[in-house]
Amino acid sequence: MYNLFKLSNGLRVVVEEIDYVNSISVGLWIENGSRNEDEINNGISHFIEHMLFKGTKNRTSKQIAEAIEDVGGQINAFTGKEATCFYIKALDSHLELSLDVLSDMVLNSKFMEEDIEKEKGVVIEEINMSEDSPEDVLSDLHCEAAWGKDAISLPILGTSESVRSLSKVQIEAYVSSTYIPENSVLSIAGKFDIKSIERLVEKYFGQWNSLDKNITTYSKPEILKNHLFKSKSIEQLHISLGIQGLETGDDDIYPLLVLNNLFGGGASSILFQKLREEKGMCYSVYSYISTFKNTGLVSIYTGLNPNYAADAVNIIKEEVEYFCKNGITEEMLRKSKEQLKGSYILGLESTSSRMFSNGKSTLFLNRINVPSDVLKKVDNINMNKINQVMESTFRKGIRNSAYVGESFHMESLQNILEGDTIAFKNKKSTRV
């Protein structure tokens, strides 16, 4: 059973009652992430996520953790490009405690100077750890290749320099203007008393307000034709290739998921079978979809010996062309739809996954994606829709790319990618 309501202060609340479980998941979503920053304060959203665990007027940092862990629960948070989420999973008997702790963190955090300076060291080490991961470096680099200087390209963690420059005044002003009920959603999923839920939420979040409001808005960045390389002394060359995608909330995402699943979504996909099973060029190769407000991207990833780079990129490009030229069969569509439905339903088997799904959908779309509706949309996908979505995504070709590894002949890869494709030439495509 779902319910969606709003408090008088503007906080949206989405609840899903699941009476056959004995747990509760509570998540507070703030529509604020690295995309809402600039080069000067880059990383402040992620830093604030850390700081909300450092102590409040009512609890020390240790007491925040103990309040939940002492009753067998879990408390954590994450920051993305467009949202930050603080969440708790516990037994259903601890719903009120969960609401108490989350509201205390958001409304009463102290942001002590000493804690800020300590946490800068922690976050900078997290940045250093990310810099040691070529996949993380590649992800940030590809964002820059795809969207240039738009704020969506800013790294979620920020830079060591931007984090060091953060001040107490800057942090408190940012929290006051962006961590506001109008920008937020409280998502609750699990076993609870539906009759008392509004009263409980009002008790802990009803007084949340701010005089300095900054309602979140988004740019409309263009997908660029761009190719970037970052040198790292590692064995493999890590490659990410970008194709025009779809924005958050576009119902065409379901046909695109079908296409992506067939092209690079698993071990039976075109990419995996060609590059790993047939050619033996790599261990890991796949494609995935990223959706944001007003923009989106389909990314193709592989990591391999730099000596194979030109052949691999050429094969991937040819496979994209072949995929677009020849399309898919009714049987491929049927199988991919079943795979998509199965993975979707299996992904909703816990209260935390239901809370995440409901919270994100309400935050960005102001609606609940009910599983039965999603399954119906998948079932309704037909070949006409598949071809329409193919036209607006894969047939536009590989637009941008990013590479992380030792120095190599990037110009040759760029020439391969920017050569004629069947999206623009009526030539017969052949597999390599």
Q: How many other C-beta atoms are found inside a 10 Å radius of the C-beta of residue 366?
A: 13
Q: What is the pLDDT of residues 145-173, one digit of tens each?
A: 999 999 999 999 999 999 999 999 999 99
pTM: 0.93
pLDDT at 174 over 80: yes
pLDDT-derived band of residue 294, with 50, 70 and 90 as boundaries? very high
Q: Please say whether the beta carbons of 115 and 51 come within 8 A.
A: yes
Q: What pLDDT does 381 receive?
A: 97
Q: Which carries the bigger pLDDT value, residue 123 or residue 412?
A: 123
Q: Please say whether the beta carbons of 291 and 360 come within 8 A.
A: no
Domain boundaries, the chain: 2-205, 226-418
Mean pLDDT of the region 247-255: 96
By the 10 Å C-beta count (0-12 exposed, 13-18 middle, 19+ buried), 251 is classed as exposed
Phi-psi region of 75 (alpha: psi -120 to 50; beta: other; left: phi over 0): beta
Please state whether beta strands 226-231 and 398-405 pair in parallel, antiparallel, or not at all (unpaired): parallel
Q: Are 2-205 and 226-418 equal in CATH topology?
A: yes
pLDDT at 230 over 60: yes
Distance CA 299, CA 162 (A): 28
Q: What pLDDT does 239 receive?
A: 97
Active site residues: 49
Distance CA 216, CA 90 (A): 31
- Residues 6 or more apart whose CB falls under 8 angstroms from that of 135 comprise 238, 301, 303
- Residues 6 or more apart whose CB falls under 8 angstroms from that of 330 comprise 383
Q: Give the architecture (CATH level 2) of 226-418.
A: 2-Layer Sandwich (3.30)
Distance CA 50, CA 167 (A): 14
Mean pLDDT of the region 74-83: 98
DSSP 157: T
Q: What is the pLDDT of residues 354-387, one digit of tens each?
A: 999 999 999 999 999 999 999 999 999 999 999 9
DSSP 276: I
Put the strands of the sheet holding 282-292 in their side by side order: 226-231, 398-405, 237-244, 295-304, 282-292
DSSP H helical ranges for 184-271: 197-205, 253-264, 270-271
pLDDT-derived band of residue 214, with 50, 70 and 90 as boundaries? confident
- Nearest CA-CA partner of 74 in 86, 58, 84: 86
> 45-59, 313-327, 384-398, 416-430: lowest mean pLDDT where?
416-430
Q: What pLDDT does 420 receive?
A: 59
Distance CA 55, CA 58 (A): 8
Q: What pLDDT does 232 receive?
A: 94
Distance CA 254, CA 374 (A): 9
Distance CA 230, CA 428 (A): 35
Please state whether beta strands 282-292 and 12-17 pair in parallel, antiparallel, or not at all (unpaired): unpaired
Q: What is the pLDDT of residues 398-424, one digit of tens each?
A: 999 999 998 777 788 888 888 754 433
Q: What is the pLDDT of residues 182-210, one digit of tens each?
A: 999 999 999 999 999 999 999 999 999 98
Distance CA 400, CA 199 (A): 51
pLDDT at 431 over 60: no
Both structure tokens of 368: 């609940």
Q: Please say whether the beta carbons of 330 and 162 come within 8 A.
A: no
DSSP 107: H
Both structure tokens of 17: 């009652």
pLDDT at 59 over 60: yes
CA-to-CA dists, residue 210 to 162, 167, 169, 213, 276, angstroms: 26, 20, 16, 6, 54
Both structure tokens of 150: 């738009």
Q: What pLDDT does 425 receive?
A: 38
Is the Cα torsion angle 278, 281, 282, 288 positive or negative in sign?
negative
> What is the CATH code of the structural domain delimited by 2-205?
3.30.830.10
The crossing angle, in degrees rounded to 10, of helices 330-346 and 371-379 is 170
Q: What is the mean pLDDT of the chain?
A: 94
Distance CA 88, CA 355 (A): 10
pLDDT at 4 over 80: yes
Mean pLDDT of the region 21-35: 97
Mean pLDDT of the region 33-48: 97
Mean pLDDT of the region 296-302: 98
